[in-house]
Amino acid sequence: MEDVLTTMARQFLPQMTREERSEALLSLKRLIDEEFFALAIAESGDEPARDVACPRCGSDHVVKRGFDARGEQRYLCRRCSRTFTSRTNRVFATTKLDHATWMRFSECHVDALTLRESAERCGVSLKTAFFMRHRVLECIAQSMPAFRSAAGDGMELDECYLAESFKGNRKNAECGIPRKARHRSGPQDWRERICILTGINDAGDIFFEMTGRGNMSEEQAGRFLAGKVASGAIVSTDKAKSYRRALRDLDVRRHEAHASGAHAINRVNGLHSRIKEFVDGFHGVATRRLWNYLAWFKWIWSFKRGRTAAQTAGLIVKQVGSNPYKTTWRNYKRTPYPFYEYWVKQAKWDSRARAALPLAMGAVSKVG
Ligand SMILES: [Zn+2]
């Protein structure tokens, strides 16, 4: 049987004029978004309150220090000496946007829509959409499941490569840098490709690590696989030498090295296609934001399974509601590029590198 709200809507809508109907439907849409938001937030209230920790430095060495103007308990952090309440650094406590807009934005986030599409759908500016996206990314990253494996588990490992990108620094791009990096035909310098080590286990859980520029070394394999590959695991890789010693040191039960593209490492190869598709969907991602996008991909991969799109969007609202952000907007704009030492070395003899250096160090304040 149909619910009473829908029955009423069916009854009243046909009696309205065209304009009235369109207006009523729009406000219903808004009401639905608001209600979904409220439902998601109500769910996060069911969780036991966590111990109070400083939202800026994470320290739990805090003491009560009076009340703020709204009558909320204020705390003083003994480590960074700043005060906070439960509203400090909370997206929904400080936002000027309404709940319906955040709900709609969460749906865009689940569908990995571009900024332009999200901005249009939510009725906000591109700049606001950019801000919303990165606040959401920072908050939901804190609820990311860790990658685990155990003795006897099967797992596939492989690296994939993404071209280094200074996207967002458009003004500076004009004075030379990414031009050469965007060679469409010629092979790109291998040092300007970022290596991402990826893994997938039998349960379908995945992990990523940005290891650095160019091919992954033995030392990097050892460092990044520690804590992920359990002793006694059964690991398939391609024939790259870098894995051999690392996996032996981690005491895996069996290491199978297959020709690259072989059936046995199909799943990790499939994962790579999905990652590249995801990143390409945004028409390239600045390397200094790449980690956030990989985390976004992993979040969707981990939480969309077994949930409807609406439930997944609700989960985003819930996580954004319960996790504080730390990055100030100013620091956000100044995020340095990872692995920029390469440009420092190159700059001694290469004029293109000299021009790239300020970008690599995040000296440019343009949002991107
Ligand atoms: Zn603190």
Q: How far is the CA of 65 from the centre of ligand 1 (A)?
A: 14
pTM: 0.86
Q: How far is the CA of 58 from the centre of ligand 1 (A)?
A: 6
Question: Between β-strands 234-238 and 83-84, what pairing exists: parallel, antiparallel or unpaired?
Answer: unpaired
Q: How far is the CA of 323 from the centre of ligand 1 (A)?
A: 15
Per-residue pLDDT at 219: 94
CA distance 198 to 147: 11
Per-residue pLDDT at 352: 80
CA distance 153 to 203: 9
Per-residue pLDDT at 49: 56
Q: Where do the domains of the chain lie, and which CATH numbers do they carry?
A: 56-86 (no CATH), 154-300 (3.30.420.10)
Closest by CA position to 288, among listed 193, 174, 166, 188: 166
Closest by CA position to 287, among listed 175, 178, 129: 178
Closest by CA position to 80, among listed 103, 53, 107, 105: 53
What integer is the mean pLDDT of 240-253? 92
User: For ligand 1, a single-atom ion, which residues have Cβ within 5 Å?
Assistant: 54, 56-57, 59, 77, 79-80
b vs e for 108-118, b when ≥16 Cβ sit within 10 Å of the residue's Cβ?
Answer: bbbebbebeeb
Per-residue pLDDT at 50: 62
Taking a C-beta distance cutoff of 8 angstroms, is the pair 63, 75 a contact? yes
Per-residue pLDDT at 124: 97
Strands of 193-201's sheet in order across = 206-213, 193-201, 154-163, 234-238, 254-258
- Find the range with the poorest average confidence among 67-76, 103-112, 267-276: 67-76
**Token pair listed for 169:** 């620094």
Q: How far is the CA of 52 from the centre of ligand 1 (A)?
A: 11
Per-residue pLDDT at 346: 85
- Find the range with the poorest average confidence among 67-81, 183-197, 210-224: 183-197
Taking a C-beta distance cutoff of 8 angstroms, is the pair 285, 293 a contact? yes
Taking a C-beta distance cutoff of 8 angstroms, is the pair 114, 283 a contact? yes
What integer is the mean pLDDT of 357-363? 72
CA distance 157 to 143: 24
Q: How far is the CA of 174 from the centre of ligand 1 (A)?
A: 41
Q: How far is the CA of 141 from the centre of ligand 1 (A)?
A: 20
Give me the sign of the Cα torsion angle 8, 13, 16, 21.
positive
pLDDT tens track for 153-177: 999 999 999 998 888 765 544 344 5
Q: How far is the CA of 98 from the centre of ligand 1 (A)?
A: 29
Taking a C-beta distance cutoff of 8 angstroms, is the pair 212, 220 a contact? yes
Q: How far is CA 113 from CA 119, 225, 293, in A?
A: 10, 32, 12
Q: How far is the CA of 207 from the centre of ligand 1 (A)?
A: 30
